[in-house]
Structure 1
């Protein structure tokens, strides 16, 4: 780890960290109190080097939140399925509940190289709501089939569904842009997977060529493809939102968030910096997939009308 820091790393991911402790008569998953001893040992090594750690754990949301309570960075792996449920159902109550519970010191995701997590959102969504979202994904999603997450495609991971996030939303630009607006306004720092950044569709050709289920979301872009993709309106708007967010103080981790649900299908998210001088507001309707973003009373993006103002 010290060599990583010497080469410029100031945040080190600990992959599948919950299995780091092996102990007889346990399932070797998140074994306490030993897991805390190890985390603290690693932190003691890195703190003088001004680096932090990011434990990666796919499990019930309460496990990462326990880590957060010890002032470590965590991943928000519950947001992807919660957001899908919100956009499939048009109901904003579950998303609002989760945003109110989420810590600031985290990295948010919607998609990863492995797939869309399911187990992470349990009890934020009921079992029935998770089943609904999972089935709706196969119904609404573009070229998504259950067999891609099966032994036929060398994938027995029952905790994740293989699809790009864009295709999970039916390659729908409006729904996709709103999903990213939710992520941008969620507590934490948005982490955007490269295929997601380019609003990539499922790569069925690579999937069938390799018979590897996870390759559906691992398209190999050429430089020419990237040049073309960034000109698509949905990608250009996403890049605009991210660039604006990166420079706006309302999203600092020491700031605040307020979440309201004016109706069953709408949500209003307000982010403020610590001093309350900079205010960003997202007002969205999950049913018709429209939204408006304002910053200090200036309209930044208005997806409730045909045209979108430039940042």
Structure 2
């Protein structure tokens, strides 16, 4: 399997039309030549929380979304990517439910991390926990076993409830590796071509460390899972939110990585009307990346941007986004906040809204994304130039719902009539079809208030020029007849 160097869609299974059949029908009708790079379907599995990210099983599809047949059908026309929450599984899964009933006698006991696997007496020490990169107040949950009445503490990295809905799995145990192998075989049988390893940075638990991306153990696991995927013709995309240097290590080992630096960097360049920092970054980043502007979470800030951003400048940018309706996800661990207390983990909102619903600025952002080397992904809300969904936040109390609007088929068709969306689709087609994007890339030195990027292959070349004062963007390119043509985005 080779990842296609074309634009991909990211969507929930029910966000475009309500289910997988409607998604496929919209894809077939409007987007066959748009998402030639494939479709990333966010978790379509039965789940007990976190909008699919607390899966009960990967062997079934949530009935209200459809069946594996529907995924298979989409896979006939598009390379399908799905998520594997390689760090955890749902508390409601048959595996953990069996453990809750039988405790240490459960056949699934080794699937989970009881605290005695780390502390001999099973009692957690504060000095160890203080070193960890925490995603909740404590990295474990307490459960009472039905059969014995015993209390068991198990590792839970994520989860807003106590006890958590997301139970960590022990990737070192043979039962876990057998399960993961079975899941990959099922993916392969159902036309899945790419698997995103969600939360893979948290899989190694080792006392005395942050329990995040623990080296070298993380590479041992990744090498093992890559071997399983390769044997089935599946590509892997590890998802790691961390300091960019960690991403670069993964890249050096030949893995695809996510460019979590780009969304903030493009936003900053457009809002501050300066290409200086963005150009510096683009010159040094690895090319083997998936690029994005928006997603189901938010724009990464800390720890992804540590060492790149000035926190005083970042505060100003965050304030502008908040004025435009965004909300924030904050860092919990005191030791992972900046020295001056800056603690923004992600800025949450639609990218279009963060750019003040300015069509030119938004199209400039997409043009920059598409010209930066990598596989561009477009989130479904961004595809339709969607705005902040305040009602969804109010109704659910979940800040991330601001950028997770579910579109009916009618709403999709209405959005496709918007000028900004029509222009974006034209731009995506150009990115998919112009041959120079498989060639050589370079940043052209420019004035501070413009961005110039160029791709060349044989006798084809295209140059993007973005004026940061006006946000007007043009592409100069050589067409089939070797004429110089200008494409005003």
CA displacement at 1:149 relative to structure 2: 4.4
Find the structure with the greater CA-based Rg: 2
| TM-score of the two chains, using structure 1 as the length reference | 0.88
Q: Provide the residue aligned with 1:25 in structure 2.
A: 208
Where in structure 1 do 4 or more consecutive aligned residues deviate above 3 Å?
148-151, 297-300
Is 1:127 matched up with 2:311? Answer: yes
CA displacement at 1:235 relative to structure 2: 0.6
CA displacement at 1:150 relative to structure 2: 7.2
CA displacement at 1:90 relative to structure 2: 0.4
Q: Distance in 1 between matches of 2:316 and 2:485?
A: 35
Matches within 5 A, 1:1-311: 1-119=184-302, 120-139=304-323, 141=324, 143-144=325-326, 146=327, 149=329, 158-252=344-438, 255-273=439-457, 276-296=458-478, 298-299=484-485, 301-303=487-489
The count of aligned residue pairs is: 290
Summarize deviations over 1:18-76 as a string: whole Å, max 9, x none. Answer: 10111122221000001111111111122232222100011121111111111110100
Q: Distance in 2 between matches of 1:49 and 1:298?
A: 44
Q: Distance in 2 between matches of 1:70 and 1:300?
A: 40
More helix by share: 1
Q: More deviation in 112-121 or 210-219?
A: 112-121
In structure 2, the CA distance between the partners of 1:126 and 1:257, relative to structure 1 (3 Å rule), is farther
CA RMSD after TM alignment:
1.8
Q: Give the SS at the match of 1:121.
A: coil
Summarize deviations over 1:241-281 as a string: whole Å, max 9, x none. Answer: 111211122222xx3211023211111100123xx332121
Q: Provide the residue aligned with 1:306 in structure 2.
A: none
In structure 2, the CA distance between the partners of 1:158 and 1:89, relative to structure 1 (3 Å rule), is closer
Q: Distance in 2 between matches of 1:62 and 1:149?
A: 22
> 2:330·2:345 contact (CA, 8 Å) conserved in 1?
no
In structure 2, the CA distance between the partners of 1:268 and 1:285, relative to structure 1 (3 Å rule), is same
Q: Distance in 2 between matches of 1:136 and 1:164?
A: 14
In structure 2, the CA distance between the partners of 1:206 and 1:97, relative to structure 1 (3 Å rule), is same
Unmatched segments (≥5 aa) in structure 1: 152-156, 304-311
Q: Give the SS at the match of 1:103.
A: coil
> 1:82·1:121 contact (CA, 8 Å) conserved in 2?
no
Q: Give the SS at the match of 1:43.
A: helix
Q: Give the SS at the match of 1:191.
A: strand
CA displacement at 1:295 relative to structure 2: 2.2
Q: Distance in 1 between matches of 2:365 and 2:427?
A: 12
Unmatched segments (≥5 aa) in structure 2: 1-183, 332-342
CA displacement at 1:3 relative to structure 2: 1.6
Q: Give the SS at the match of 1:136.
A: helix
